[in-house]
Amino acid sequence: MASETVRATRSRKTKIAVLSGLLTTAAPDELAPVVAWASGELPQGRIGTGWRTLTTLDHPPAPVATLTVAAVHAALTELAGTSGAGSAARRKELLAALWSAATADEQGFLLRLLTGELRQGALTAVVAEAVAVAAEVPPDLVRRAYMLSGRLPVTAVAALTGGAAALAEFRLEVGRPIQPMLASPGATLDEAMTEFAGEVSVEHKLDGARIQVHRDGDRVRIFTRTLREITARVPELVELVAGLDCTSVVLDGETLALTDAGRPRPFQETMSRFAEVSSTRELLLHPYFFDCLHLDGRDLLDAPLSERRAALTRVAGEHTIPALLRPDAEAAAEYFDAALAAGHEGVMIKSLTAPYAAGRRGRAWQKIKPTHTLDLIVLGAEWGYGRRTGYLSNLHLGARDPETGEPVMVGKTFKGLTDALLQWQTTEFPRHERSRDQHTVYLWPELVVEIALDGVQVSPRYPGGVALRFARVVRYRPDKEPAEADTIDTVRALLP
């Protein structure tokens, strides 16, 4: 089975060869689900089937393989759409039929796929390269089409049925979200300024939620950083964007809730507005836009930031994020201090000459904070003692292996956990439980947490060869997928 071969090797070249061979044998109507599954995703999104339900399925495996991609895809589609009276019995019936028709290897694959175990982060990038090999097209063409479509299965179908010509047809489409550009942690303000020879925009690093705004005439749509639509939950943002002086626009930015004094509220309060169930206290969100990707019929993705910034200021006006353009070192340092004093995380240093590289964490954008922070994956939690008895406390933390996407443990911490977070962890973690022993509950790699640390040190204690120093919890990141967690290479780069 291709999945087992990919999981068993650390060689990126081998993974690409196996996956490209798989894609060349798939029928046109199988390509979309095959690409999604190979990336560890479900085309249907959430299907409402939990780990506990799946692990209690007790059906002997089929002796021979008879399942087809189309049959599995159809069964999962029906599962996702089953709700209302009698749905529990019907869902159980569908799962039983699927499991009974699957061989032992297929049952294992389905279990990992449906529980998120195949969600290996970097595997998406590997699958994109495999698509390029199978379609015999340049990888950059696939990456750009994926950036613009926001969906790798759609990109793959185009590449494998229409080649380079079909990929070249992808354009930024107002109303369809694209992969957002990402920032890398920067070392110091001075180093970042020097790297870009002063040709930079220095902006406040807000403790808010990423939003991507699309307006086409009277229609406004708003998406999160994971491309989930939240338009109906943020009417104040919709009204604001509808009032901008333009016909069509695509803006990238942050939004956050403010206190009566104008200071940012905690990140969790902002994110409560994005929840499926409305928060009991409706907090007004304020947008701060930092990039303009399209304006009145003109795409700006390939334009330098200096040009995009000018368009942004023209259309967003007072809703543009505060920034200094081409400051000297002293002015940049004063601006950094002022950002911290205002309650923000630090500053962003952005190259004014760089295009918008969607979906990529490059050096053109760097975040500068007073302490190092990393987005890590929660691998487990130990039961507390003393005043924390009965609560899941000490976290096991992992960084993402950029080759396999698997988490690599780099440390533990119980610092920074408030009483509210302890209660939340104890309630939430069993929903992601993979296994447990007397002291620890081990989790599927599904939750991302932001960790502040003073640095890292060489350590043989953990598989990655490094350990976090003085790590403490800052906040959980429900807006981030495990695929967006920091890599073990990023952690190692913090070594003295």
The per-type count for the chain, helices as H runs and strands as E runs, is 17, 19
SS3 letters for 219-245?
EEEEEECCCCECHHHCHHHHHHHHCCC
Q: What is the CA radius of gyration of the chain?
A: 23
Residue positions annotated with a catalytic role: 205
Residue with tokens 């956990």: 417
The answer to whether residues 200 and 192 touch, using CB atoms and an 8 Å cutoff, is: yes
From the annotation, which residues make up the binding site for ATP? 203, 210, 225, 254, 290, 361, 367
DSSP string, 173-212: -TTS--PPPEEEE-S-HHHHHHHTTT-EEEEEE-SSEEEE
Q: Are 221 and 175 in contact (CB under 8 A)?
A: yes
Q: Are strands 466-469 and 455-458 parallel, antiparallel or unpaired?
A: antiparallel
Contact between residue 134 and residue 20 where contact means Cβ atoms under 8 Å apart: yes
Q: Please report where in the chains the tokens 């604001």 appear, as a residue.
A: 240
> Of 234, 327, 334, 337, whose CA–CA distance to 287 is shortest?
234
DSSP state of 220: E
Alpha carbon of 151 to those of 146, 170, 276, 343, 457: distances in Å?
A: 6, 12, 23, 36, 38
Q: Which two tokens stand for residue 364?
A: 């053109």
Q: Residue 143 in 3-state DSSP? A: helix
Q: What is the DSSP secondary structure assignment for residue 385, as one 8-state letter?
A: -
Say how many residues make up the chain.
496
